[in-house]
Structure 1
Amino acid sequence: MTSTGPFLVAGANRPLGALIALDLAARGLKVVATRRHPDAELDARLHQAGIEIAPLDLTDLAAVRALAPDVSGVVLTPILSISGPAAHAFSEGGVERGVVFSSNNVAIVGADPVYDRLRAAEADVLASAPGWAILRPTMIYGYPGDGNLSRLLRMLGRLPVFPRLGSGEASQQPIHVEDLARLAAALVANEWDASGILAVGGPQILSHREMIATARRASGRSGIDIPVPLGPVRALVSLVTALGLKLPLSPAQLARVDLDKAAVAPADIPASLQPRITPEEGLARLAADLEL
């Protein structure tokens, strides 16, 4: 049976985990936020919200099993290929409600070592923790280190002529980190009664070309896009990678450029929880955070 103890959020030193912990605390729930690396500014914010902070290494499965009987539910924000064993241990310890994170790319990309590991981890959670939710978000953005749209905004700020790879027609459906945190908190708190695989994306689907135009408006920089055929770029990147040199884009990333990335078989999200931060708003906020 699930405990009546606090909710545990692992990975609270990162924006997603911190936002989930704060959302749960705002609901009046007792929350323990765990992380491996302290952050004085963020820790102070969590303490102010009444959240207990504790260290936890999710690879220490003995420590995870010891915690399991004392928590009501868990949210493990590290990607499921990393957090999967801990999810299994929590479930074995009696935690009936948990949320873990996979990727929408699992449903898009074929055979690939990264996504093969995610598929295997999803299968394990589905088999061992039937009441748990596996969120498959599309591209997550909304904080300076997101590695996707923050990088695009910086590049647009530097390059008046932007090399746009591929056709520009592939669909994108980015989800803002705040919207994703709300969904995860609602799931573990049983406000959203759903389990299994849940694909989620933002409120708007844009083409790659439209995404660049939206990001350009957010950055306040004018410029033009020059389409670049993928074939020659793939050949060059493969050659350079074979020589042992690192580039901003890997061959695997290039292979996904022209794939549609909107949420595949999207989850039925209650109206009150629907993602609401549009790319226009989210990118404008991100550009301000980046001081562009």
Structure 2
Amino acid sequence: MHVLIVGAGGFIGRHVAARLLAAGARVTLAARAPERLARSFPMAETLVCDLAHDTVADWAPRLAGIDAVVNCAGIIGNRADYARVHDEGARALFDACLAAGVGRVIQISSLGADESGVTAYHRSKKRADDHLIALDPAGERMGWAVLRPSLVMGRGGASTALFTALAVLPLMPRLGAGRWQVQPIHIDDLARAVLRLLERPGPLACLLDAVGPQAVSTDELTEALRGWLGLGRAPKLALPKPLLALVARLGIGPATRESLTMLAAGNTAPSAPFVAALGFCPMTPGEALARQPACAADLVEARLCALAPVLTGLLAMVWLSGGIVSLAFAPTATIAPWLGRVGLAGPGATAALWAGSLADIAVGLGLILRRRGAPLAGAALMAVYTAILTAAARELWADPFGPLVKNLAVLGLSLALFAMEARRG
């Protein structure tokens, strides 16, 4: 069987790829940037795709010789283009599959992508699900299955990152009143379900809520992850809903407005239909955590995830204050002699002051807006400043206030945040 996995660069897509390859399937991985996938999965083929722009005509040559397609593509965020990726892009893919004679399509949707959907994320997924089902309701020409998972647990997943970040804090935040309900399914069980659906003989027309056997509250899940990381109990801190909404709106930390809305609405469903259809019972959260014990790297990752917004905010303040103070508050009589030491005076000095200050402000805003590469740009800019001042006033290295020595700390923090960008994919 030759399977095309769309959205293979994401958390679910990578695990589905690994499961299918281990089962001996021929796999092609499709993603916007497949170069890293080619290195991670050298035994698989890769191709470039972009659901936000690809049409039926774009998909036609890619589907030649493909027996089955698994659509794992999904985005979530305050500025995510759900309509183009989840809805229009997925519908173009499904239409192309039918036209190309693809025998089977598995759509990874979301629990809540039904008439009760409370977010744009849910509604966009539902439109794509409905379109796939309508193409062949009985699944006789093109077998289909729609899997609607609840919160998906597993190393590297956004949901696990959110709850482990909460779990490591000395005061454990409570989302809502701590009673929001979720029904986690482990990524291994979700990948196993995809494989079973692909291997099932005969026509396929199947819509399933992919949930584990046990519903838990957000408090219970956070406490379980805290114990998994080897940490003792911690006092709980209730977070009012307006504060949670503000944090999510500002994009601080791993939570988004959509994810918080989905959690508040509840994320549970009966597990019996899933078990009956696929012939196995998924792991409970406790069983899943016990099967994959935490290591030191898990604790470090959780702490970094919790600290990232704080570190980013502090570094942004350094850059913004440097740029704003230089332009608006620092006396000209103080700045001019320093510019003169590097050979700048008159209009050239003014231009350099504005250029440097605006560059500082741009780096600060880039950090706040989470622009990729902003920490590295800041590190490069700080290195340039340090080199210039070392050449013009090397005595500053011995200054008791350490104006140049402190640059090393800023450089180190910038490089650390740049390295942490890998967590965002």
TM-score of the pair, normalised by structure 1: 0.80
Over 3 Å counting, the alpha-carbon distance change for 1:155 and 1:108 in structure 2 is farther
Mean alpha-carbon deviation: is it higher for 131-140 or for 184-193? 184-193
Report if the CA contact (8 A) 1:102-1:134 is conserved: yes
Structure 2 CA distance for aligned equivalents of residues 185 and 141 of structure 1: 18
SS state at 1:53 partner: strand
Structure 2 CA distance for aligned equivalents of residues 30 and 165 of structure 1: 43
Which of the two has greater strand per residue? Answer: 1
Over 3 Å counting, the alpha-carbon distance change for 1:152 and 1:22 in structure 2 is closer
Structure 2 CA distance for aligned equivalents of residues 161 and 240 of structure 1: 17
Structure 1 CA distance for aligned equivalents of residues 235 and 62 of structure 2: 52
Report if the CA contact (8 A) 2:12-2:187 is conserved: yes
Q: Deviations over 1:61-115 (max 9, x none)?
A: 2231223342111111103435332122212322231101110022485453332
Q: Which residue of 163, 174, 195 corresponds with 1:152?
A: 163
Structure 1 CA distance for aligned equivalents of residues 117 and 34 of structure 2: 37
Over 3 Å counting, the alpha-carbon distance change for 1:239 and 1:18 in structure 2 is closer
Partner in structure 1 of residue 349 of structure 2: none
Identity between Structure 1 and Structure 2 (%): 26
* 1:36-75 superposed matches below 5 A: 36-40=32-36, 42-47=37-42, 50-58=43-51, 59-61=53-55, 62-75=57-70
Structure 2 CA distance for aligned equivalents of residues 121 and 237 of structure 1: 30
Q: Which residue of 229, 239, 246 corresponds with 1:219?
A: 229
Higher relative contact order (CA 8 A, sep 6+): 1
TM superposition shift of 1:267? 3.2
Report if the CA contact (8 A) 1:167-1:258 is conserved: no
Structure 2 CA distance for aligned equivalents of residues 21 and 254 of structure 1: 29
SS state at 1:54 partner: strand
TM superposition shift of 1:239? 6.7
Gaps of 5+ in 2: 75-85, 138-142, 301-425
Report if the CA contact (8 A) 1:13-1:39 is conserved: no
TM superposition shift of 1:21? 2.5
Q: Deviations over 1:212-235 (max 9, x none)?
A: 221110111123243526xxx333
SS state at 1:106 partner: coil
Over 3 Å counting, the alpha-carbon distance change for 1:228 and 1:196 in structure 2 is same
Q: Deviations over 1:188-214 (max 9, x none)?
A: 232697523211112432222221221
Structure 2 CA distance for aligned equivalents of residues 224 and 78 of structure 1: 37
* 1:113-192 superposed matches below 5 A: 113-130=120-137, 131-144=143-156, 146-157=157-168, 159-190=169-200
Partner in structure 2 of residue 33 of structure 1: 29
Structure 1 CA distance for aligned equivalents of residues 204 and 275 of structure 2: 9
Q: Which residue identity is paired with 1:60? A: D
Partner in structure 2 of residue 267 of structure 1: 273
Which of the two has greater helix per residue? Answer: 2
SS state at 2:50 partner: coil
Structure 2 CA distance for aligned equivalents of residues 192 and 198 of structure 1: 18
Gaps of 5+ in 1: none
Q: Deviations over 1:12-48 (max 9, x none)?
A: 22342233233223333322222221354x534522x
Over 3 Å counting, the alpha-carbon distance change for 1:112 and 1:153 in structure 2 is closer
User: In the alignment, is residue 290 of structure 1 matched against residue 286 of structure 2?
Assistant: no
TM superposition shift of 1:269? 3.1
Q: Which residue identity is paired with 1:290? A: D
Partner in structure 1 of residue 2 of structure 2: 6
TM superposition shift of 1:183? 0.9
